Chain A
Amino acid sequence: MSSVPADLRYAKSHEWVRPEADGTVTIGITDYAQNSLGDITYVQSPKVRAVLAAGGVFGVVESVKAASDLYAPVAGTVVAVNPALDGAPETVNREPYGAGWMLRLKPADPGAVGALLDASAYGALLG
């Protein structure tokens, strides 16, 4: 059974979003996503200051099995990417909601996060 923390918001494309105190949001992929991908071998992150559209591709996650696009759950400007994933992409498998975070975004619309799925809706999506 996949872990779906109650305090996060989710996109149907299996990214999670955590609102931070400073108005930015942290984004990663869910436990379900990492488990479906299997051993993650590479994460391609966007550049800091890149401007992302909601639903736009922000990067690629590769596993032994396949490469998959990553989608921005909300529009915004990249303020940080996780430098640890360059040398240790398997961190995403181990801690998808913690040390395996992928990027921090300053949302274009601070209210956009509220429109994403909550944990119960995302959990229902996984069935």
Chain B
Amino acid sequence: MTQLQRTPLRDFHAARGARLVDFAGWEMPVQYRSILEEHRAVRRAAGLFDVSHMGEFDVRGPGAAAFLNRLVTNDVARLFPGRVLYSPMCYPDGGVVDDLLVYQRAADDFFLCVNAGNLARDLEWIRTQAAGHDVTVTDRSAETALLALQGPRAVPILQGLTATSLAGIGYYHFAAGEVAGVPCVLSRTGYTGEDGFELYHAAGHAVCLAEALLAAGAPHGLELAGLGARDSLRLEAGYPLYGHELSPAISPLAAGLGWTVKLEKGCDFLGREALLAEKRGGSPRRVVYFRTGDRRILRPDSPVLNAAGTVVGQVLSGTLSPMLQEAIGSALVESTAAAAPLAVEVRGATVPLQLVRPPFVPLGRT
């Protein structure tokens, strides 16, 4: 058992009553008070999340734009300085290495934000693929901290701490600035479905920034929120989580992320051939989202059954929606079965799935 990694805010969380758990090798706050209450605080007012465990890589050089457009499925050529792009990064067979954000700072200057659990594998993959391209890939993860301020009150809270005009930063745009005197990248992105910002900054400033945000946010109803709420918020919003709705075995097309796969972007990219074939032939299995009208949570890996009781898939994610007060989730099912009635057994009872198109609740994101 190796030592868990810690973000610069580990003691800050512990001092505020966090329940710290092992998440992808990191000692992270899963909750401070109550996952359900933290979730509702983000939908109602605002939540502050430490997501410093995520990885950041600089990708720089004259070949950076062309390299990245070959690396990921979405179209990097649509970026410009100050713009952010969400994209899967695929293996040649169309399975997903990771999903990530691509930031363009300048013509030859990009950075990526990747999942903590995939960080080492991503870095190796990206460096291998970079061979022959005129780019330098630098891992900035250790020195970079990341706080996510999310919810309808996020902008008023943040505007009180920065001279940067937040109204001038659109959804999936970013700018460099200062927040409470701390140099930050202010990125209007998030994983909750609410409006808000993600603030990249030097690890040494994390405690100072977190304290300033909490103090400024208190009158607005800001609460610290852990990874438990982060997961239920993203699922309510219908956002995939790597290892659940995306994996080496679930392509972006199967996951319902066809909008992130730009087959005609004008250059070849990793996975293009396989994804083109999958698009033409149809995905054999696909990710569906469901609600149940029942409070019993359907847990990952539970078999999904058709009307005849035959297993046609399995649950990928499942939780109780704190807003709907019923179980919601996602499942990977055989595409031929997806139009017919589906159910999951829970302790001997059959719970029918009502397939829905997420988001499960109205979202405040702009």
Contact = CB atoms under 8 A, between A and B. Distances in A.
Contact of B320 (A41, A44, A60, A93): A41
B225 to A, nearest CB: 13
A90 B37 CA distance: 11
Closest 10 interchain pairs by CB? A41-B320, A42-B295, A39-B36, A39-B35, A64-B35, A39-B34, A42-B296, A41-B295, A62-B297, A64-B228
A121 interface: no
Nearest to A86: B295
Contacts of A44: 296, 347
B21 to A, nearest CB: 10
Nearest to B295: A42
Interface residues of A, number: 12
Tell me the interface secondary structure of chain B in the complex: mixed
Nearest to A62: B297
Interface size class of B (residues with CB under 8 A): 10 to 19
A110 interface: no
A89 B295 contact: yes
A49 to B, nearest CB: 20
B319 interface: yes
B296 A93 contact: no
A72 B319 CA distance: 28
Interface of B: 19, 31, 34-36, 228, 232, 295-297, 299, 319-320, 347
Nearest to B38: A39
19 contacts: A38-B19, A38-B228, A39-B31, A39-B34, A39-B36, A41-B295, A42-B297, A44-B347, A60-B347, A62-B297, A64-B228, A64-B232, A64-B320, A67-B299, A67-B347, A89-B295, A90-B34, A90-B36, A93-B34
Contacts of A62: 295-297
A113 B347 CA distance: 30
Nearest to A66: B299
A42 B320 CA distance: 9
Contacts of A64: 35-36, 228, 232, 297, 319-320
A30 to B, nearest CB: 18
Interface string A55-93: 000001010100100000000000000000000011001
